[in-house]
């Protein structure tokens, strides 16, 4: 275990669990170097089904260079409808080639526009829109450009196999149970802490969780100014200057002339504040945030929860508690029995408190991929653990200044909370010309959390 990059530590990811040097390099030199394909769990009827009974048109889009939110906005503009009528199960990054499902209410296949960098395949119709729970996971194929130490990948694999409690897959000769080498492209099982990746907080300006923390404290003014201000060194000089100006003056109209046109969310906030006669009260700041789409408003609170979760995992690491098996006081969940067997998906609706009598039996389930140790994504109904795990959870929340009742919020900001597996396992394959890592992850887990263990570099190189 070694200290993480300072930018990662700022969002709660304190450590790498692999202790060896990384391979170096960078990701996303081209969109085609980062490929993602969804694994869905969503049934549709024929495209010819009655639209009155099945009003949602479902299509699979292959997007190159499109952020999911940007694509949804462009699609809704072309269809002359509210963006709220466009739904999807998982949000993907811009600098990638992604394949995912979308649903749109009350349109016909012929209405779908032709957009650059987009290939659309109509799947059918459905009686409801896509939701987050319809995504089982994602398949990744990722090229690492200019790695300085590509041979170090096998040493990282060894460390991650041990961390995931998967040491017995490897023999003395470096082969797995089937006799395949760890470096010949055959899949090898590894485990990493199920951190929320840098993208959750902002890859280049990690402030999303800070906005969320202000919201849960009902500091609406602080939330808006955190989003508008806080210039980051990675931003262009013009943008940094605009953020500094609005932080110092709160001259919303003048700031509109200074903020670049592509920062449409910032400009939307400024328009709302300017309409408040220049002296907004707390309610005006809250209304300004309503200019954001509902999924982005939820994201702020989710980022605050994610930050606390990352901190809890880092504290567990620092105390040397295992991730692949429980200790007394943990709360475990079981695997979702309804999904295909090669992708272990935690079912956080099936929780089990682990007292002294259950430690060994739950540990056996964890070893077989049938159960997972969890930590809280805190909300109004969160039940914290007991023993040392519960002590960790409470100490982190106290340090951040969060209480469960803080999430009793209006509209999209409200959260009852849930729990999340602290370990994610995957079967990973490595090819060396070019250096390519292929693996699958359950929904909500981040490819960059796997890749950071291999590269051990500035998180901005992870894209």
Q: Which of 31, 93, 134, 324 is catalytic?
A: 93
Backbone φ/ψ region at 96: left (φ over 0), alpha (ψ -120 to 50), beta: beta
3-state secondary structure of 368: coil
Measured distance CA(195)–CA(422) in Å, rounded: 7
Which one, of 423, 458, 410, 4, lies nearest residue 189 by Cα?
423
List Cα–Cα distances, 369 to 89, 119, 232, 245, in angstroms.
25, 36, 41, 53
Measured distance CA(214)–CA(244) in Å, rounded: 19
Q: Where are the alpha helices (DSSP H) in 294-337?
A: 294-318
Measured distance CA(64)–CA(104) in Å, rounded: 20
Q: Which two tokens stand for residue 171?
A: 């023999």
What lies within 8 Å, CB to CB, of 250 at 6+ separation is none
Measured distance CA(422)–CA(192) in Å, rounded: 9
Contact 112, 127 (CB under 8 A): no
Secondary structure tally for the chain: helices H, strands E: 13, 15
3-state secondary structure of 197: coil
Q: Does the active-site annotation cover 93? A: yes
DSSP-derived pairing of the beta strands 34-40 and 97-105: parallel
What lies within 8 Å, CB to CB, of 153 at 6+ separation is 23, 183, 430, 435, 437, 454
Backbone angles phi, psi at 206, to 5 degrees: -75, 85
Contact 117, 63 (CB under 8 A): yes
What lies within 8 Å, CB to CB, of 312 at 6+ separation is 375, 376, 392, 393, 396
Active-site positions read: 93
């Amino acid at each position: 275990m070694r200290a993480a990059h300072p930018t990662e530590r700022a969002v709660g990811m304190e450590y790498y669990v692999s202790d060896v040097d990384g391979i170096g390099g960078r990701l996303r030199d081209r969109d085609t170097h980062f490929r993602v394909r969804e694994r869905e769990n969503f049934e549709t009827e024929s495209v010819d089904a009655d639209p009155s009974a099945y009003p949602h048109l479902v299509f699979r889009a292959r997007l190159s260079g499109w952020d999911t939110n940007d694509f949804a906005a462009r699609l809704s503009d072309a269809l002359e409808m509210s963006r709220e009528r466009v739904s999807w199960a998982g949000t993907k990054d811009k600098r990638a080639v992604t394949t995912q499902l979308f649903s749109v209410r009350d349109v016909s296949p012929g209405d779908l526009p032709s957009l650059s960098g987009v290939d659309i395949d109509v799947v059918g119709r459905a009686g409801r829109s896509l939701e987050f729970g319809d995504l089982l996971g994602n398949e990744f194929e990722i090229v690492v450009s200019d790695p300085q130490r590509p041979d170090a990948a096998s040493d990282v694999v060894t460390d991650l196999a041990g961390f995931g409690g998967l040491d017995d897959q490897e023999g003395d000769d470096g082969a797995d149970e089937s006799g395949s080498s760890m470096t010949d492209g055959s899949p090898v099982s590894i485990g990493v802490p199920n951190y929320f990746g840098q993208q959750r907080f902002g890859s280049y300006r990690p402030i999303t969780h800070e906005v969320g923390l202000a919201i849960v404290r009902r500091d609406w003014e602080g939330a808006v100014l955190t989003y508008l201000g806080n210039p980051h060194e990675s931003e262009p000089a013009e943008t940094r200057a605009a953020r500094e100006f609005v932080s110092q003056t709160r001259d919303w109209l003048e700031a509109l002339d200074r903020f670049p046109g592509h920062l449409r969310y910032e400009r939307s906030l400024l328009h709302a504040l300017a309409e408040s006669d220049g002296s907004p009260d707390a309610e005006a700041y809250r209304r300004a945030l309503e200019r954001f789409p509902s999924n982005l408003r939820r994201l702020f609170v989710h980022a605050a929860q994610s930050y606390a979760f990352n901190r809890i995992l880092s504290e567990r690491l620092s105390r040397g508690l295992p991730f692949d098996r429980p200790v007394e006081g943990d709360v475990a969940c079981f695997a979702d029995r309804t999904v295909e067997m090669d992708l272990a998906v935690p079912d956080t609706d099936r929780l089990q408190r682990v007292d002294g009598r259950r430690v060994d039996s739950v540990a056996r389930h964890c070893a077989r991929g049938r159960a997972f140790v969890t930590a809280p994504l805190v909300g109004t109904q969160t039940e914290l653990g007991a023993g040392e795990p519960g002590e960790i959870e409470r100490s982190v929340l106290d340090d951040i200044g969060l209480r469960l009742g803080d999430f009793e919020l209006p509209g999209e900001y409200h959260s009852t909370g849930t729990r999340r597996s602290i370990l994610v396992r995957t079967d990973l394959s490595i090819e060396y010309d070019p250096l390519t890592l292929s693996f699958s992850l359950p929904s909500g887990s981040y490819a960059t959390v796997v890749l950071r263990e291999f590269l051990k570099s500035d998180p901005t190189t992870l894209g």
